[in-house]
Structure 1
Amino acid sequence: MSETRCIEIEVFIIRMIIGLISFIGCVWHVSDVSGIYFSYETDVNVYFERETMVQIPGVTLCMNSSLLVREDYIVKRFPEIYNLTSFKDSKYYVLGQYLHQLTLYEQLFKATYRYSDVFNSCLTMKPLAYENDPNELNDYIRCERISPIREYITYSKKCFFISSQLLFEPTDRYLVDHDITLRDNGFPLYQIKLNNQFLDQTVMFIQSRSTPFLGFIGGQSNGIHLNNSKYDSFTFSYVKTSTQLLEPPYRTMCRDYNEIGYKTLSHCIVSCKANYFIAEFNGWHADIPANGEYRLQVQYAPIRLKENKTLDKLMADRCGLACSKMEDCYREYYELNTIGQFERTDEQQMLGIYIYLPNGMNTKYFHSPRLHLIEYICYFASVFSLWFGFSIIAISKALIKAYRYYSCRRVKSVNEVAMISQ
C-alpha cells in the first residue's frame, strides 16, 4: 500500500472519530435543549401597572333575608301567622321561618323586597358607552343602565349583584376614561345609598364582574361587614390582582370553563353541588346563592345536610370528576380598603357606600413559556452549527462546489459518449 493511500486512511479515521464525537455531543446538546422545551415549563412575569382606562368591578351586597320579607305576602300565604304568640315577640324570626317554607322562586321574586325597594340609589361613573349619550348629561349614571341588577338568595341572605357582565355585555359599558396616573382620583367610582330599614348584618363583596356571585361556598370570602346601626356611610378603595395561566401541555394546566358552559371552576363546582342536592334530596343547598339561572321550584333541603362533612366530601369527589380540578386561565382578585366610616345621626335613614377610584397599582401575574418554539428552533440550529460548523456561507459554498462537480461530471460523460460514438 502506498504512503499516500495510508495517509488518506489515517485522515479518514481521524475525521470519523471527530465526526462521531461531534455527533454524540450534538445529540446530547439537542436532547438537553429539547428536554427544556418539551417539559413545557413557564416563567412568571410580574407587572405593576396603573389603569389608564378604569375597569368597573362587580359589587355584591348581601342583607339578612328576614328583614326583607314582605309581610303582606307571607300573611296572604299563611293567614294563621297572626294567631301565633311568638309572632308578636319575634316578628322577623317568624317571618323568616315561614319564608323558608316557600319555593326559592317565591322567596326570590315575590316574598322578599326587590332591588328597587332596598336601594335608594345606585350610581356609577359614566363609562365609555354613554359618553355621547344625550340622555346622560351628568358624570354619573344609574347602575342598572350598565347591566341588570341580579338578585340571589340563600337560607339567611338576599344579595344584589351590581355591574355584572354574565351575558357578554359590551365591554365599553365597563370602561371609564380616567387615567389614574394623571387624573384626580378623589372621585367615587360607585355611589350607593340603601334604605336603612331593610338592613341588618350587611356584607359587601367586590369581585370579577364576569363571575356569578357564588357566596362563601364558591370562595368569595373577602366580604366586609357594614355596621349600619352605628355608621351611616362608608368610603372604600380597592386594588386588583390578576393571574394569567397557560393551557395544557404547559405545567400550569389551566382551563377555559366557558367551553363547557361555566364562567370559572368555582362556578362549575357550585352548580354541580346545587344539582346534586336537587337530585338526591329534592331540595336546595342552604348556602348556595340561587337566582334565575337555576331551577327554583324547590324548597331548602334540611339544614343538617350542609353541615355533613362526609356528604361534602362525596360531592367534592363527584364534582371534581365532572368539572376537573384545572385552574382558571384568568382570574381576578380584589382587596377592599376602608378609607373612612362616619357615625350615624338620628336624621339619617339611609346607608351610604362610596367606592373610590383605585389610586394604587394593580398587580398582574402572567405566565409565559420558558422556551418558545422560535427560540427552540434557534437553539436547535445553533447547536448543529456549534458541533458541525454549519453556516449559511459554508453551506452555500458546499452547494456551489457540488453543482460544479456534477456539472463537470456531466460534461465529461457527454464527451465520452461523443468519442465512443465517433
Structure 2
Amino acid sequence: MSNITIRSIKTLFIILLLLICSYQVYKICYLYLSYCTTTSVTYDQLSDLSLPGITLCFDKQWILRDDYKQQMLKQYNASVNSTDWKRLVNSLSIAGQMNVLLSMDEIFGNSCHVLKPLAFASRSGYYIPCHTITPVIQRMDYQNMCFTFLSQLSDETDDRYVIRDDLIYKDHFNDLFHVSIAGQIPSVNMIIHSRFEHMVNTGKKRMLKFANRPKTVHYTEYHQTVVHSLPAPYETNCYDYTLIGYKSRLDCIENCRVEWMADYVTGWPGNYMTDNLTSDALIVNMYELFHENYTLDAVFGDHCRRECGTCIECCLAYYDVFQSEHNCEDINEFIVVLSPPDLRTLIITHTPKLSFEEFVSLIGSLVSLWFGVSVIMLTNSTVDLFGQYVVDRIFRSNRSMPTPNDDKYDDYWRQLYGKYGGDKCNSVSMRRKWSTIIRDNRLYQNDYRYKY
C-alpha cells in the first residue's frame, strides 16, 4: 500500500473522529447554554421547628361595641343588615373606628401563648405570652380588623421563633400556639403565612373560618413547602426582590397598587390593610369602585406588572393548612389552637443541570478521548513551540549564525567540534552535516549564545 493511500486513510479517519467529537461537544454546549435545571425534593433534617406567622381576622360588624350598636339600631329602627354595618362603620375615620371597635385586649385578653422558643429557654414554664416574642401587629381594611402574631419584620433573631422539634414524643404541652377569643364574637378567620410577610391583602390568602361553638376547640395544622429557584438565565428565572427593597413579589405588587390607588381616591383604598390606626382618613370601598369600572383595575395591574415584573421569588415558602374540631365538655371558651406539623418541611431545590465545572470536565474528557489531548501534553507542546519558534526567532534577530565570510566562523566551528565532534573542521560537507545536527538538538543556541 502506497504512502499516499495510507495518508489518505489516516486523514479520513481523523476527520471522522473530529466530526464525532464536534457533535458531542455541540450537544454538551447546547445543554449548558440552555440553562436547564434539575429539581431535587428533600425533607428538612433539622431537629428544630420554625414557627410561622399567624393572622386572625374579624369582620368589623362582629367586634362593634355594644353601645355603638345600640345607638345605630335606635337611629335606623333596628333595620341594619351586614352591608349597612360596614357602610356605617367606614363612614368614620380610621381613628374614629378604633373608638367603636373592640380593642385587642377586649378580644383576646392575655390568652395568647406560644410554646417557648430556644431564645427563652431560661424562662420557667412551657409557654410564654405571644407579645414577648414580637409585638402583635394590628391592621384594618374596609371589611376586617386583623391581628398578626409572630411576625419577623424588624430584624428579630431567628432563635426567637425556633422550638425543639420533640413534640411527637409528648402527649401534653405540644400545642404551638393557642388563644381564647371573646365569647360574643361568632367567628374568626385564620391565615398561616411566612413570618417575613406583610399581611396587607387578605383577599388573596387562603383563610380558615372557625365558628364559635360551645364546648369545641378548633385546631389548625400546616405543612410547609420551601422552593429554592435560580435567577436568569436559568429557566426558573427567579428574582431577589430584597435587592429593590421588598420582601417578595407580592409585597412589591401590593405597595405599587396602594400607591396608585391612594393617588386616585381620597382616603385609604379599602381592599388593602393599613396599620396607621390614628389616621383621620376614610376607608374607601374599592370593591364598589372596581365593580363599576373594571378597566381601572386593569390599568393599575398593568402598571404594577411593569414595575414589579413577572419573576417569582428565589426563595418561596407556602403553607398547606388543615382544620379540625375537638369536643371538650369542660371548655366554655372560643379557643383556636395551632398544632405542630406531622411532616417536616418539604424543600424543593432547583440546581443547574450542568455546572460550569462539569461542563469543562466533559469537554476536556471528550477531546482527550478522541485525540489524546491532555493538559500536560498541551503544556509541553506550548513550551516546545515557544522555545523552538518564539525564542529562536527573537535570538536570531539579534544573533545571526556565523557565515563563511565571518572572521569568527572557523573559530566557532573549531571550538564546537572540539566539544562535540573533533578538533578540526576541514570539510565543508562535514560542516553542513554537523550544522544540521546541532540545529536539530538546539546546540547552536546553547553554544553560540554564550560564546559570541
Same fold (TM over 0.5): yes
The aligned counterpart of 2:27 is 32
Cα deviation digits, residues 316-344 of structure 1 (max 9, x gap): 21111111111111222222223433378
Q: State the alpha-carbon separation in 1 of the partners of residues 311 and 116 from structure 2.
A: 37
Q: State the alpha-carbon separation in 2 of the partners of residues 299 and 96 from structure 1.
A: 11
Q: State the alpha-carbon separation in 2 of the partners of residues 268 and 404 from structure 1.
A: 62
Q: Which amino acid aligns with 2:182?
A: N
For the 8 Å contact 2:186–2:212, the answer to whether it is kept is: yes
**Does 1:84 find its partner at 2:69?**
no
For the 8 Å contact 1:69–1:95, the answer to whether it is kept is: no
Deviation, structure 1 residue 144: 0.7
For the 8 Å contact 2:271–2:285, the answer to whether it is kept is: no
Cα deviation digits, residues 269-315 of structure 1 (max 9, x gap): 12222222111122333322222499873431454113343332222
For the 8 Å contact 1:57–1:163, the answer to whether it is kept is: yes
Q: Which amino acid aligns with 1:379?
A: L
Q: State the alpha-carbon separation in 2 of the partners of residues 418 and 326 from structure 1.
A: 69
The aligned counterpart of 2:170 is 184
Counterpart of 1:377 (choices 348, 360, 366) is 360
For the 8 Å contact 2:269–2:283, the answer to whether it is kept is: no
SS at match of 1:271: helix
Q: Which amino acid aligns with 1:209?
A: R
**Does 1:368 find its partner at 2:351?**
yes
Q: State the alpha-carbon separation in 2 of the partners of residues 230 and 66 from structure 1.
A: 21
The aligned counterpart of 1:148 is 135
The aligned counterpart of 1:114 is 103
Q: Which amino acid aligns with 1:290?
A: T
For the 8 Å contact 1:282–1:301, the answer to whether it is kept is: no
SS at match of 1:196: coil
- RMSD of aligned alpha carbons: 3.5
Q: State the alpha-carbon separation in 2 of the partners of residues 378 and 185 from structure 1.
A: 55
For the 8 Å contact 2:216–2:325, the answer to whether it is kept is: no
Deviation, structure 1 residue 40: 0.8
Q: Which amino acid aligns with 1:126?
A: K
Cα separation, partners in 2 of 1:50 and 1:115, compared to 1, 3 Å: farther
Deviation, structure 1 residue 96: 4.1
For the 8 Å contact 1:155–1:287, the answer to whether it is kept is: yes
Cα separation, partners in 2 of 1:297 and 1:398, compared to 1, 3 Å: same
Q: State the alpha-carbon separation in 2 of the partners of residues 85 and 201 from structure 1.
A: 25
Q: State the alpha-carbon separation in 2 of the partners of residues 288 and 167 from structure 1.
A: 21
For the 8 Å contact 1:229–1:344, the answer to whether it is kept is: no
The aligned counterpart of 2:263 is 279
TM-score, normalised via structure 2 length: 0.77
Segments of 5+ residues of structure 2 without an aligned counterpart are 393-438
Cα separation, partners in 2 of 1:27 and 1:95, compared to 1, 3 Å: same
Segments of 5+ residues of structure 1 without an aligned counterpart are none
Bigger radius of gyration among the two? 2
The aligned counterpart of 1:242 is 226
**Does 1:342 find its partner at 2:374?**
no
Cα separation, partners in 2 of 1:230 and 1:15, compared to 1, 3 Å: same
Deviation, structure 1 residue 20: 3.5
Deviation, structure 1 residue 367: 0.8
Q: State the alpha-carbon separation in 2 of the partners of residues 208 and 392 from structure 1.
A: 51
Deviation, structure 1 residue 58: 0.9
Q: State the alpha-carbon separation in 1 of the partners of residues 278 and 197 from structure 2.
A: 15
> Per chain length, whose mean CA-contact separation is higher, i.e. which structure has more relative contact order (CA < 8 Å, sep 6+)?
1
Q: State the alpha-carbon separation in 1 of the partners of residues 363 and 190 from structure 2.
A: 55
The aligned counterpart of 2:43 is 48
For the 8 Å contact 2:176–2:338, the answer to whether it is kept is: yes
Q: Which amino acid aligns with 2:364?
A: A
SS at match of 2:366: helix
**Does 1:259 find its partner at 2:221?**
no
Q: Which amino acid aligns with 2:190?
A: M
Q: State the alpha-carbon separation in 2 of the partners of residues 266 and 418 from structure 1.
A: 77
Q: Which amino acid aligns with 1:112?
A: L
Counterpart of 2:189 (choices 203, 212, 230) is 203
For the 8 Å contact 2:93–2:279, the answer to whether it is kept is: no
Counterpart of 2:334 (choices 351, 373, 383) is 351
Cα separation, partners in 2 of 1:277 and 1:404, compared to 1, 3 Å: closer
